[in-house]
């Protein structure tokens, strides 16, 4: 199968349907198909062939949506990049993916140019803004998206791809510091969307308020639901509560998917009755744990129940959910989605009965093909067909799953994965610091915040403010530790590994 072919067939069934609303501009299915075909022709002229990787580094916008299908038409691979990550991490993704073309935004121009300078294999940058060709600082290899697209004829052919051919490399933070490219194929992305479609209630004709970033697997999973349902998308490019709530009122929004931090900010909104939200039917939450307190407060303030789900990038991002129209067990991650198997396993892979704690494992057609160029890590993650998630929990007697801990040390702040190693590497370079360890701690606003434990060299002195001042020159604000704790020595096990479990107990 080819997702672009399936998407075009679905789209052309309703050519006049307004599929996207962006900044009050209505975009019909017909216009979407024309734009996807023209962008495919541009990429083909730039030398893109089947299997080539294309970086997408933009805010939410129609051009990003067109890029997905345009690349897939050619059998190429989409590599979405989060603008929040550092230049070093961006360079790593450029190099690791082997991409030669970046579709980006002028908003991130300095980052794009700095990273391209360090990765000579990146040959071309296409800026979605109209003024890219006129930019004084634009090199010869930088083009305006619309100048290229407007001047070219449509590419109507679609490359034949197998279900197992790669469609996307989605990089996710790893405990070793360097992010890993999760390989999703046309088949796995289709299976993930199909699973969510079969699990959820009918939504044909409804309006989805789209605030999730398309660089995130969660956002991509929601996007691919269009393969099965005729919905309208109000595409928003920033998290602004006035814009979100006014869009719900203006366009009679019915569905919104968000991460816990977004719901926390909704609770902080000073005028919850300012806009008419009565058209809303489904409020969905995922990507990080939602506190029971937030769930209860949201229902009390807005009168709606949130349906919490759970998923991993490695498994298509949508793997379980509390029934939208059925019994919700607040605090749980709900029931497995249809077409997905879940179980609790011990350290040897043996499945455990209800009530016993172990690792959550998943099996199904939506599981990733593996990690890009990392066969050993792939073999560790997928064993006997089961994806080992690193999340620890149990299944109750009704089949609902509950997460109690994580084997992995990743910090999930505001729905984004943060590698502790990234921050530890900076702290280790701070004058006077002997070693550092970073963990996530519970936070009402972000779900988790960053806490750093620091050991100084003998005789050295430093204050928390001095350590933070050093970090500010090397980390963006999102990655800055909120807490600094000084220790005389790190807790360790017999082989000498730092015991982060002991740090969490502190």
Residue 135 has what pLDDT? 46
User: 368: pLDDT confidence band, cut at 50, 70 and 90?
Assistant: very high
| Strand, coil or helix: 294 | helix
Across the range 449-462, mean pLDDT stands at 93
Considering the chain, what percentage of its residues have pLDDT values greater than 90? 74
Integer CA distances (angstroms), 173 to 60, 82, 212, 417, 483, in order: 21, 11, 18, 6, 21
**Number of separate domains in the chain:** 3
Q: Is 58 exposed, middle or buried (0-12, 13-18, 19+ CB in 10 A)?
A: buried
Of 401, 404, 410, 400, nearest to 392 by C-alpha is 404
Residue 377 has what pLDDT? 94
Q: Do 455 and 339 lie in a common domain?
A: no
Q: Do 125 and 32 lie in a common domain?
A: yes
Does the pLDDT at position 176 exceed 60?
Answer: no
Across the range 35-46, mean pLDDT stands at 98
Q: Do 442 and 497 lie in a common domain?
A: yes
CATH number reported for the structural domain that contains residue 27 in this entry: 3.40.50.980
Q: Do 386 and 355 lie in a common domain?
A: yes
Last residue of a domain, one of 161, 177, 209: 161
Q: Do 201 and 301 lie in a common domain?
A: yes
User: 301: pLDDT confidence band, cut at 50, 70 and 90?
Assistant: very high
Does the pLDDT at position 498 exceed 90?
Answer: no
Q: Length of the chain, please?
A: 506
CATH number reported for the structural domain that contains residue 260 in this entry: 3.40.50.12780
Instruction: Give the least confident one: 156-170, 181-195, 218-232, 325-339.
Output: 218-232
Q: Do 465 and 348 lie in a common domain?
A: no
Across the range 30-42, mean pLDDT stands at 97
Of 115, 116, 129, 43, nearest to 78 by C-alpha is 43
Of 466, 439, 464, 441, nearest to 452 by C-alpha is 439
pLDDT digits (tens, 9 = 90+) for 186-222: 999 999 999 999 998 989 999 999 998 888 887 788 7
pLDDT digits (tens, 9 = 90+) for 137-158: 556 789 999 999 999 999 999 9
Q: Do 423 and 402 lie in a common domain?
A: no
Residue 325 has what pLDDT? 86
Q: What is the mean pLDDT of the chain?
A: 92
Q: At what angle do helices 3-12 and 186-199 cross, to 10 degrees?
A: 50
Q: Do 427 and 390 lie in a common domain?
A: no
Integer CA distances (angstroms), 357 to 328, 393, 406, 412, 504, in order: 21, 5, 12, 22, 19
Residue 174 has what pLDDT? 56
Does the pLDDT at position 493 exceed 70?
Answer: no
Does the pLDDT at position 472 exceed 80?
Answer: yes
pLDDT digits (tens, 9 = 90+) for 404-449: 877 777 898 998 888 888 898 899 889 999 889 999 999 988 999 9
pLDDT digits (tens, 9 = 90+) for 214-269: 888 877 887 888 899 999 999 999 899 999 999 999 999 999 999 888 898 899 89
pLDDT digits (tens, 9 = 90+) for 100-138: 999 999 999 999 999 999 999 999 999 998 765 454 455
User: 457: pLDDT confidence band, cut at 50, 70 and 90?
Assistant: confident
Q: Do 312 and 337 lie in a common domain?
A: yes
Residue 101 has what pLDDT? 97
Can you give the residue range of the structural domain that contains 476?
419-505
Around Cβ 54, how many Cβ atoms within 10 Å?
26
Across the range 312-340, mean pLDDT stands at 93
Q: Do 362 and 450 lie in a common domain?
A: no
Q: How far is CA 381 from the centre of its chain?
A: 19
CATH number reported for the structural domain that contains residue 500 in this entry: 3.30.300.30
Residue 133's contacts (CB-CB under 8 Å, 6 or more residues apart) are: 143, 144, 147
- Would you say the C-alpha torsion 393, 172, 61, 13 has a positive or negative sign? negative
Q: Do 316 and 217 lie in a common domain?
A: yes
Residue 409 has what pLDDT? 79
**52-56, 292-296, 355-359: range with highest mean pLDDT:** 52-56
Buried b / exposed e over 308-341, threshold 16 CB at 10 Å, is: bbbbbbbbbbbbbbbebeeebbbebbbbbbebbe
Last residue of a domain, one of 365, 381, 406: 406
Of 269, 235, 230, 265, nearest to 251 by C-alpha is 235
């Amino acid at each position: 199968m080819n997702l672009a072919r399936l998407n075009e067939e679905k789209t052309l069934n309703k050519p006049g349907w307004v599929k996207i609303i962006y900044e009050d501009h209505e975009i019909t299915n017909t216009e979407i198909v024309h734009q996807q075909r023209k962008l495919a022709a541009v990429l083909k002229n730039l030398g893109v062939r089947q299997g080539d990787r294309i970086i997408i580094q933009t805010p939410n916008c129609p051009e990003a949506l067109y890029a997905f299908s345009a690349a897939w038409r050619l059998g190429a691979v989409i590599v979405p990049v989060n603008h929040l990550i550092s230049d070093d991490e961006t360079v790593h993704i450029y190099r690791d993916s082997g991409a030669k073309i970046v579709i980006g935004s002028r908003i991130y121009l300095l980052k794009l140019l700095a990273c391209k300078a360090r990765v000579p294999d990146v040959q071309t940058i296409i800026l979605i803004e109209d003024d890219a060709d006129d930019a004084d600082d634009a090199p010869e290899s930088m083009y305006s998206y619309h100048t290229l697209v407007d001047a070219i004829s449509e590419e109507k052919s679609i490359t034949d791809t197998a279900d197992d051919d790669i469609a996307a490399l989605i990089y996710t933070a790893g405990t070793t510091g360097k992010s890993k490219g999760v390989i999703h194929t046309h088949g796995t992305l289709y299976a993930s969307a199909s699973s969510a479609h079969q699990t959820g209630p009918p939504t044909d004709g409804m309006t989805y308020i789209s605030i999730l970033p398309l660089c995130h697997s969660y956002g991509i999973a929601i996007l691919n639901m269009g393969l099965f349902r005729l919905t309208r998308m109000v595409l928003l490019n920033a998290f602004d509560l006035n814009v979100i709530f006014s869009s719900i009122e203006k366009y009679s929004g019915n569905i919104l998917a968000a991460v816990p931090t977004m719901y926390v900010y909704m609770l902080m909104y000073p005028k919850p009755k300012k806009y008419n939200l009565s058209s809303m039917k489904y409020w969905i939450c995922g990507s990080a744990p939602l506190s029971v307190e937030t769930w209860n407060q949201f229902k009390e303030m807005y009168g709606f129940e949130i349906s919490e789900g759970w998923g991993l990038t490695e498994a298509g991002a949508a793997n379980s959910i509390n029934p939208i129209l059925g019994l919700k067990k607040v605090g749980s991650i709900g029931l497995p989605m249809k077409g997905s198997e879940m179980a609790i396993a011990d350290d040897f892979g043996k499945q455990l009965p209800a009530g016993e704690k172990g690792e959550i494992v998943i099996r199904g057609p939506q599981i990733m093909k593996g990690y890009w160029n990392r066969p050993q890590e792939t073999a560790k993650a997928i064993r006997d067909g089961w994806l080992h998630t690193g999340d620890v929990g149990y299944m109750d007697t009704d089949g609902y799953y509950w997460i109690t801990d994580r084997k992995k040390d990743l910090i999930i702040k505001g729905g984004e994965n943060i590698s502790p190693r990234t921050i530890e590497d900076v702290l280790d370079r701070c004058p006077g610091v002997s070693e550092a360890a970073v963990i996530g701690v519970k936070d009402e606003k972000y779900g988790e915040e960053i806490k750093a434990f620091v050991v100084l060299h003998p005789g050295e002195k430093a204050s928390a403010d001095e350590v933070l001042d050093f970090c500010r020159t090397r980390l963006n604000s999102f990655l800055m530790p909120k807490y600094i704790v000084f220790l005389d020595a790190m807790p360790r096990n017999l082989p000498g590994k730092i015991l982060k479990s002991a740090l969490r107990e502190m």
